[in-house]
Structure 1
Amino acid sequence: MALTVVRDTEGAVLGPAALTAVTEALAEHRPVTVIVPSMRAALDARRALARAGIGVGVDVTCPVPWADALWGRLGDGTALARGADVTATAWKVLGGNALMDGRPESAGVYPGYVDVVATLAGTFSVQLPAAAAAAGDALSPQQRDACTMALALADALVARGLSTRSRVFEELPDALAAHPGEARCALVAAGWEDLDASQARLFGRLAARVGLTWAASAHPGAAGDAARACEAAVASEAALAGAPVSEAPARAAVPAPPRSPELQALLGSVFGGGGSVEPTGSVRLLEAAGPEAEPELVARELARLAEAGAERVLLVTRDPREAWRTVSPKASNRGIAVRASWVEPASDLRATRQFLAFVEQLSAIAAAASQWRLDRAAEGAPDAAAAAEEVLSASVEADRSWWPPRAVTDFLLSELSGLPRDIVFSLDAAWRQNRALSPAAVLSDVARVATQSEPLARTVELVAAGDWAGAARALRPNAQAARDREAHQALCAVEDACAAVDGLFGDGLDPHARLTVLASVLSRMGVARSPERGRYGEAQRCTVEILDPARAASTPPGSVDDALLCGQTAAEDPISAPHDAVHGLLGLLGLARPAAPDAVARARAWHVWAAPTHGLAVERSLRDASAEATHPSPLFAELLSCYRERPETVALGEERVSKNLSPQGREPEPSGFVPPLEVGTLSGRAAHLAVMRSDVAGDVPVVSATDLETYLGCPRRWFLERAVPADRLDADFSGLDRGSFAHGVLERTGRELQAQGSFERGLAGDVLSRVFDGAVASAPTGQGPAAGFMPHSVSEESQVRHLKDQLLATLDRNEGSFVGFTPRLFEQTFGNPGQDPVTYAGVRVRGTIDRVDVDARGRAAVIDYKSGNSGGSRYRPEAADDLSSWVPGNIQALLYARVLPQVAPGLDPVAAVYLTTGDDPGVGGMAERGFAESMEGAYRGKTPNVVTPDHVAAASFEDVLARAEEVAAEAVASMAAGHVEPRPRDRWACMGCPAVACEKRIDR
């Protein structure tokens, strides 16, 4: 048998030489198998056969599926190992007991190393011993170990009844020769411009055993160097196998397809050593200012080509998936049909990532639930103090790496879950806002909502049982219902990967190790993607096909109207050998690919540039995603060097964001017109909505004391925090949670002291300690004031303990300060839905009065708790010589005092004070003279920050309350008028304001 080399210069997968070889074999009544590099090349080869009128007796295939089918009939009973089998077995061979113990890293087993060993074993196991021996000392000890482990992996696969691709390629030629019926088939290898050493060896041995025709359709210049390098490698292997090599006369040159003169001149200049090119408009340069403008620029060019009458356009990019995502919607909205083709690792599919993340987190939550002791920490404690200590300790030690369960939420929000999104959003909000959330509660919630989707319910059950393959299979109906083919492919890939891994390891892997192996296996499983979208039939303008350079290389010359080559920057389209461990080791072993990377890139560029007959557009972005300037790719630079004058260039900037992002490439149509507003002013409907509450029915504004106080501090801050507040996603142990907890403890302490009929200082401290500890101990239930104040770290635990000390100091300093007054009302709400309306400053108000102390005559002191370390000085009203010009810095307690007769008839307010609970507790505010003087003794000679009405030139406390209401009425009117300009009263108004770049900010 022999290797027969036939050549032509057309540059097609099946050129004249290959077609002649096929025709001659058919004339001899022999079946023909044409072996091409890829399934895309096989499709183009079948089209070429159809155009030549050849349809029967010819099979077009690729090496692996061809070998797999034959090996199943002629082999030794072993099956061809798939990528999943090789990778999973590699983990078994390399990981050993470390994997079973859930610690693969301890054995130095990492996914990258597994990939190296799996590649060596799967592709080169037969050639590896001789290659390693020949390399000698050129290999490092680690590289030599990798070769040894690769051979061990190949043996392990054989023990499982599997053969590596390398072994099948090695033994298949002999098996074919032993079966004359099979060997009668004529073999033709065509379209090869890049192959690996094992493929070259396969073709050489086939030539020696059964005969092979090597059909090279290569450009006569540098663009054909890659094809000639592959031919030389196969000829060398054939000679080593004992096959004579003969060359048939070259086929006559096929006339070049009709092209525009500029395109023909460009091909001659770049690939034929011709002269310079004159621009005539057939070659265009597309330059986007940045990545955000690229899709729109490309879509506009496609629309222009369609308008010019193009019927078939080839779009070539290194990342077809991204082009499909960004360009195809824009093209289809312009009446253009689009299809794409690419292969991506199963691990990169969105549904794969969502499913594995869901399984990983759900398994982690289940494991945490089995170790969770927080909800039982207080059991058996002798008293509240001991229970609180146990809860705090257990809370800090608890594994909360899963909180909040984002991966679970993301999966439930996907179409794979089959759940309504509003249900999932509500569940997510509840989880995020509960710092006391337990793993068992999450599992219970997931099981509860899963009942609304039968496939999801079954999936949750199977995940809990450890059957991940079954869980992926159970979700398929949801993927089918969503008509999501990618998700269905992902689930099938996950199921196959799980089957491969579980078949080796059984139940011996913990979830972490299992997921590590699964992710590695899925990364070596390719999933073919071939989506289509657009209009077909009479409405179709043209068809665009999106391919990567390797697949586009099989496009016959002159077979499309136009081509568009995208991403021509040096970073996106480099010409260099891969710099990774596998390719470096293969180079040392002498198993590198025969064709140099630059030769392969030049060959593919020639195929793309030769494909169109009318025009070629080359696109690049001038800046990358980091706004750094880019450099043109080598091919882009070479194209420019061929021109005396720069070709026609079209540019697009990124400043028209909405236009660039629009599928139609147009600015969105306005749905209404709002006249320009003055800076800091709302008007009309906007001003009305700013003062409305979403939870209040009707058209009557309802404001709170906090609204008024914030507005008086700064209108802009009120607008940002109160009128259009941002939702708080996670319970983050903030000052708000701290304040709520402190309020709750003080309220319960006051009520218990009131029930006991004594507010004696020592008793008050004991009661507060007991209430505080009880609140902490009950926090794991999610009930009570500590529900949002659960510490997750040692730092947060210290804050809880410190707060207790602060509250005790507050009691010691302030309880009993109000001589003759005893607490009567605690957390008194008013003005809420279901309660009687309360009016103030001409509007309805609502709020919560922290505490009201009352004396025997019905006089009342309104008390508002505040956190902070000001000792009350922050709440001391500023002095004024004229009451009519005085503006209270803090209006909240004054408002509560003013409305107290409406809330609790019969009480006469005589004080409105703030009680601080920080490290320096104190009291500040306004009170009648008698009340203020009664506090002097309680402060051990220190002057309190509670002032009397004459401090602001008022005759009575009632006058002070009336003036505060006047100021509030002015603020309400200003709110309604839409005044939201930045106008901070003092540095306190700016502290914590979300307008961090405000030009009026007061920092000190």
Structure 2
Amino acid sequence: MAHVIRLIEGGAELSDQELELVSSHIQETGRCSMLLPTSAARDCIRRSLAKARVGLGVEVLVASAWIDAAWSLFGDGRVLVAPIERQLLMDEVAYAPRPGGIEPLHADLGTVRLLGRMAANLLPYSLTSGGTSGAYGVVKRLFQDYQTALSECGLIEESEAAHILAERFKHEGLPPSFKRVIVRDPESIPAYLFELLMAIAREGELVWLLDADRAAAREALIHASTVAGVPAQVQGESASHATLAQAVRSCPPEFIEIEGPHAEARVLSEEIDKLAASGVREIVVVAPAPAELMEAMSDRLAVRSIASSAKKSMRFECTECGRMLAALVNLATRLDAVETGEAEPATIWPTPELADWAASPLSGASIRAARQLDKTLRSKRSLQPAALMSLLQSTQSRLENERKRGQCPHYLAEVPVVVSDVFALIRSRRLVAALRLMLQVAQALPASAFGTQDGSCRKLIEITAITRALEVLGDIAPQIGASQQAAVRSLNGLGISSEGEVCPSDARAHVRFMRMSEAAALPVGSVDALISADMNIDSYSLARDESPCTTYAQMLGVPTLEFERIACMRSQMARVVAAPTRPAMLVRVTHTGQARPAYPAAIWTEIVSAAEASALEIKTKSVGEGELVCDFDPAGGAKLRTADVACEAPLHLSASAIPYLVVKKAGVGGSPGPARPLSASQIESYVSCPLCWFVSNRIRPAGIDAGFGAMEKGNFVHDVLYHFQVAVSEWPQKRVTQANLDEALKLLRETFHQVRLEHERGKTASSAALIPLSTAERLEVDAILPELERVVRYESAALAPFIPRYLEFSFNDLSITYAGRSLGGRIDRVDVDPSGRAVVIDYKHRAHPAQFKLLDPTVARGRGKVVAADDPNWLPEHTQTLIYAQALRRAGLGLTPRGALYLTTKGARPGFAGAVDAVLVEQEPNDGHVPGVTSGFPDEAAGGTLTFEDLLDRVEAGIAQRLDELEAGVIEPAPEPRPFCVHMHPFGFTRRNELS
């Protein structure tokens, strides 16, 4: 029996002392095993042994491979469970119904993963420790079911296998091949591995090799082994052992501090470029996230003729295949629920998943087709599941025909289009067939379809991911009896890895990106230069694991033996600093993107302290963010021309832009012709606020999705009232009266339901149909009918001699000039009486008609000051009906306009408001005039002098002046912004240097 903790000279390769120890073990027993924490360290030690010619008889393994080998020799025939198999079986156990229908835990992906980690480390101890109630009981019952599932499949957990082996070795003795075990550079020892190692220490010889920087952990190791009944002896204490401080003294590193994250890639690229110019060929960049740093820097290195590579690993859900499969499976489930009535259409519209799928390279479609599909899906709220599938199929058929006729880029000519077939297979739960189609597309696509720089790597990752998914769904899951649902959920636990490389044809140097643990396994002098990046406290945290798995292990009394994180960092950094042939560079960013301080990692501080303690000259270089173009341009701004440009004043258009403010018709020979007609609504919008008009009519920040808001409801109300008035015009009375009110209300309800069906089918002339997709939206549509019934009742007693003669009356073809410009657009209604008097009516689906009230501006108000009359620029807030009333005077229809009204249709009290001739003003309630309008033009009772015709002329003159300003390029905001202006004015119309 021998249990020894031996302090050694730390290094990536074995020292003479370690080689002597290995040789003595081989001479005594013929073989021994050496356990390493990482595969990189394992490979380095294997090379070291081979170089020293003592490799025969030595098994150099990571701990999990060592347990697997031992179990295959001395186990009971079961096989160690693979991570994906663990995920599948634990998923089945977690989602399985319990007696009484009670779920022991909330079953989701995170819970399943947590339970899998707990089972991997603690399964045997959980089954033999704790009670049967509370948290112990819940997890214990779950693990009992999980162990049963494992046994039925002929599988066993690594922790249980190690526990069984430890018990067997304790009672039956050690096999000769396990009498000598060496553990080098341990970082953490789970309870099951420690138990097995202690069983070996009792009967054989167990040696822990710790370098000087890890020596602080020996007390914890001594205590744990003493508690286990196998006390350890410490050998080799000496001040000559290599430490991080000694490594810093022998080869002092250089320090670079970058004042902002935006400049990090540029600064690192420039330093690497300098190294390459000095003749360096092999460069290593150490980073906590090497693949991400490589992606950020590969373009910059490529333009400098420097190759780069890194090991890329990602979970299945982060691959293109994983994202698309999860999204499409989820969408298929929701579509099925809508078809069966279990869910509302609102749960699927606007189905952005289908547009994302069409844009994915794995669909075989194109970006152009994806954009067209997305536009169609988002513009139609009426698409049902069957229509969606039909739309997908038509998209696929169109693309296939284009490729047959050669109407596509050459690199897509041989790529199959599966945008519809894959989703159809997923809906029918044939996931294996769907993945096979994706695999065909991935194999047929050129590497550039996955990226211009690292496309070949991304293509390999996608092919690997699909192949692994096919293996899980088609082979592993059926073998262990897992359901397809569990298999799909468990795919997210798959790990996909590959070697990513960007290699220019004229590469003059090669940069390898790797983690600190990998760089620590590099032999001394194996690379020309080394840069350690991102050395901040967030990247190299010293926090201990405090997960539920750790807590549960402590509850069971079998915690994982954790070595100090900083001790492991010291040991690894000492080897990292010693690996290159020239001084290493240590780089960190001093500030975050929000200009907050970013603190250095503890290991950075220790290296600086070690250099200061040795009175070494510390070379620290601070680099600012510099020019913006250099920080963001991969070429660092090389060969770019810069120039100073003069910016226009805020809210001011240049002389070259003003002609485009008013849209012109095409003239002869392509020259601009006359201005296009302006509608009354456009004129009113400009008069109210030029800036809002400019944003909404020239910038046009249109919404992406078809909406269910005020515009759609207003269109619906307009359609109902239009069809209703068309039907009423066929009655003898040609309008709604008190006598036919009941019949009119019945007609309104029929019209309402007819228009509602048209809108829901999307077959309406309205620019935006009102299509409810949920119960709440359907209730909103239901609430419109009572409002329109109140409107019909209100109109039955209004404007008694008038009848609606012109509905949706268009001015586009009448060649009418207003304010010196051509006028277009349409008005909702024109009511005419037998004498030819006309009232212009515009529907507004709003409440409170008082907002459209217009008073005679020549009447003194307030403190006796006639404000509007004294203001030559006075214009009413709402001018649309006034504009069309003036246009009717010139339309040649023999009409005399006597009113310009708005009819509000929303709320409990609909009503007319606007401007009317004094003869139409209500004198007494229910006198047949305009209800609620008690003052007209002129308002003689209050001393007014402006007639209705004068009002129309004055408004036209004021609008003519404002339209002159429009043609001159005025787009300044209104002095007193309206409530709607809040949606337009925050578009960055104020210079930053003008903000207080």
Q: Same fold by TM-score, threshold 0.5 exceeded? A: yes
Name the aligned partner's letter for residue 471 of structure 1: A
Name the aligned partner's letter for residue 146 of structure 1: V
Say whether residues 1:41 and 2:9 are aligned partners. no
- How far residue 63 of structure 1 moved from its aligned partner, in angstroms, is 4.8
Residue 572 of structure 2: aligned partner:
604
* 8 Å contact from structure 2 (residues 162, 192) kept in 1: yes
* Inter-CA distance 684–212: structure 2 relative to 1 (3 Å threshold): farther
Choose from 139, 145, 148 the match for 1:146.
139
Name the aligned partner's letter for residue 866 of structure 1: K
Map 1:783-862; keep pairs closer than 5 Å.
783-784=763-764, 788-791=769-772, 796-797=777-778, 799-814=780-795, 817-829=798-810, 831=812, 840-841=818-819, 843-856=821-834, 860-862=838-840
Map 1:298-313; keep pairs closer than 5 Å.
298-313=268-283
Say whether residues 1:286 and 2:257 are aligned partners. yes
Say whether residues 1:924 and 2:913 are aligned partners. yes
Choose from 458, 461, 465 the match for 2:421.
458
Name the aligned partner's letter for residue 609 of structure 2: S
Choose from 775, 779, 782 the match for 2:755.
775
Say whether residues 1:353 and 2:323 are aligned partners. yes
- How far residue 886 of structure 1 moved from its aligned partner, in angstroms, is 4.5
* Inter-CA distance 670–972: structure 2 relative to 1 (3 Å threshold): farther
* Inter-CA distance 157–781: structure 2 relative to 1 (3 Å threshold): same
* Inter-CA distance 931–27: structure 2 relative to 1 (3 Å threshold): same
Residue 324 of structure 1: aligned partner:
294
- Quote the Cα distance in structure 2 between the aligned partners of 1:75 and 1:13: 33
Say whether residues 1:417 and 2:346 are aligned partners. no
Say whether residues 1:634 and 2:602 are aligned partners. yes
Residue 971 of structure 1: aligned partner:
962
Name the aligned partner's letter for residue 853 of structure 1: D
Residue 375 of structure 1: aligned partner:
none
Residue 750 of structure 1: aligned partner:
725
Say whether residues 1:981 and 2:961 are aligned partners. no
Residue 388 of structure 1: aligned partner:
none
- How far residue 629 of structure 1 moved from its aligned partner, in angstroms, is 4.3
The TM-score, its normalising length taken from structure 2, stands at 0.79
* 8 Å contact from structure 2 (residues 937, 946) kept in 1: no
The TM-score, its normalising length taken from structure 1, stands at 0.78
Name the aligned partner's letter for residue 156 of structure 1: A
* 8 Å contact from structure 2 (residues 10, 571) kept in 1: no
SS in 1 for 2:970: coil
- Quote the Cα distance in structure 1 between the aligned partners of 2:935 and 2:633: 60
SS in 1 for 2:751: helix
- How far residue 712 of structure 1 moved from its aligned partner, in angstroms, is 0.9
Choose from 700, 712, 717 the match for 2:687.
712
Say whether residues 1:890 and 2:878 are aligned partners. yes
- How far residue 677 of structure 1 moved from its aligned partner, in angstroms, is 0.7
* 8 Å contact from structure 1 (residues 915, 923) kept in 2: yes
Name the aligned partner's letter for residue 681 of structure 1: H
* Inter-CA distance 751–36: structure 2 relative to 1 (3 Å threshold): same
Choose from 532, 537, 543 the match for 1:570.
537
How far does the alpha carbon of each residue in 1:425-466 deviate from its partner, in whole angstroms, 9 at most, with x for none? 333334334444434433443444355454333322321222
SS in 1 for 2:603: helix
- How far residue 625 of structure 1 moved from its aligned partner, in angstroms, is 6.3
SS in 2 for 1:982: coil
Map 1:14-93; keep pairs closer than 5 Å.
14-16=14-16, 36-45=36-45, 62-64=62-64, 77-93=77-93
How far does the alpha carbon of each residue in 1:133-177 deviate from its partner, in whole angstroms, 9 at most, with x for none? 5xx79x9952465356435533431221223223555678999xx
* 8 Å contact from structure 2 (residues 254, 620) kept in 1: no
- Quote the Cα distance in structure 2 between the aligned partners of 1:631 and 1:140: 46
SS in 1 for 2:729: helix
How far does the alpha carbon of each residue in 1:892-950 deviate from its partner, in whole angstroms, 9 at most, with x for none? 22333455588786656554332222334333344556566899933587434653599
Residue 727 of structure 1: aligned partner:
702
- How far residue 98 of structure 1 moved from its aligned partner, in angstroms, is 5.4
SS in 2 for 1:614: coil
More displaced 10-residue stretch of structure 1: 745-754 or 649-658: 649-658
- How far residue 578 of structure 1 moved from its aligned partner, in angstroms, is 0.3
Name the aligned partner's letter for residue 726 of structure 2: R
Residue 377 of structure 1: aligned partner:
none
Say whether residues 1:662 and 2:655 are aligned partners. no
More displaced 10-residue stretch of structure 1: 452-461 or 67-76: 67-76
Say whether residues 1:759 and 2:735 are aligned partners. yes
Name the aligned partner's letter for residue 143 of structure 2: A
- How far residue 532 of structure 1 moved from its aligned partner, in angstroms, is 1.6
How far does the alpha carbon of each residue in 1:211-269 deviate from its partner, in whole angstroms, 9 at most, with x for none? 999694x54x22455699889989999979xxxx9999999999x9xxxxxxx9x7328
* Inter-CA distance 607–829: structure 2 relative to 1 (3 Å threshold): farther
- How far residue 675 of structure 1 moved from its aligned partner, in angstroms, is 3.0
Name the aligned partner's letter for residue 476 of structure 1: L
- Quote the Cα distance in structure 2 between the aligned partners of 1:602 and 1:822: 93
* Inter-CA distance 126–882: structure 2 relative to 1 (3 Å threshold): closer
* 8 Å contact from structure 2 (residues 120, 159) kept in 1: yes
- How far residue 577 of structure 1 moved from its aligned partner, in angstroms, is 1.7
How far does the alpha carbon of each residue in 1:31-69 deviate from its partner, in whole angstroms, 9 at most, with x for none? 998764433334545665787799999986645457657
Residue 437 of structure 2: aligned partner:
474
* Inter-CA distance 63–590: structure 2 relative to 1 (3 Å threshold): closer
- Quote the Cα distance in structure 1 between the aligned partners of 2:809 and 2:641: 48
* Inter-CA distance 583–106: structure 2 relative to 1 (3 Å threshold): closer
- Quote the Cα distance in structure 2 between the aligned partners of 1:252 and 1:631: 32
- How far residue 769 of structure 1 moved from its aligned partner, in angstroms, is 2.8
Residue 465 of structure 2: aligned partner:
490
SS in 2 for 1:327: helix
* 8 Å contact from structure 1 (residues 233, 594) kept in 2: no
Residue 362 of structure 1: aligned partner:
332
Residue identity over aligned pairs, in percent, reads 23
How far does the alpha carbon of each residue in 1:574-629 deviate from its partner, in whole angstroms, 9 at most, with x for none? 21320111123334533413533333233233333333343344444445567654
- Quote the Cα distance in structure 1 between the aligned partners of 2:566 and 2:68: 32
Name the aligned partner's letter for residue 417 of structure 1: S
Residue 658 of structure 2: aligned partner:
687
* Inter-CA distance 555–497: structure 2 relative to 1 (3 Å threshold): same
- How far residue 122 of structure 1 moved from its aligned partner, in angstroms, is 3.0
Name the aligned partner's letter for residue 311 of structure 1: R
- How far residue 340 of structure 1 moved from its aligned partner, in angstroms, is 1.6
How far does the alpha carbon of each residue in 1:619-658 deviate from its partner, in whole angstroms, 9 at most, with x for none? 4444556765444332233234345599555556679666
* Inter-CA distance 250–996: structure 2 relative to 1 (3 Å threshold): closer
More displaced 10-residue stretch of structure 1: 47-56 or 109-118: 47-56
SS in 2 for 1:560: coil
Residue 153 of structure 2: aligned partner:
160
Say whether residues 1:551 and 2:518 are aligned partners. yes
* Inter-CA distance 146–418: structure 2 relative to 1 (3 Å threshold): same
- Quote the Cα distance in structure 2 between the aligned partners of 1:91 and 1:942: 70
Name the aligned partner's letter for residue 891 of structure 1: T
- Quote the Cα distance in structure 2 between the aligned partners of 1:838 and 1:736: 28
- How far residue 330 of structure 1 moved from its aligned partner, in angstroms, is 3.4
* 8 Å contact from structure 1 (residues 313, 543) kept in 2: yes
Aligned-CA RMSD value: 5.1
- How far residue 284 of structure 1 moved from its aligned partner, in angstroms, is 1.3
Say whether residues 1:530 and 2:499 are aligned partners. yes
* Inter-CA distance 446–189: structure 2 relative to 1 (3 Å threshold): farther
Say whether residues 1:871 and 2:864 are aligned partners. no
Residue 553 of structure 2: aligned partner:
586
How far does the alpha carbon of each residue in 1:163-198 deviate from its partner, in whole angstroms, 9 at most, with x for none? 3223555678999xx9x9996999987665554444
* 8 Å contact from structure 2 (residues 257, 590) kept in 1: no
* Inter-CA distance 760–636: structure 2 relative to 1 (3 Å threshold): same
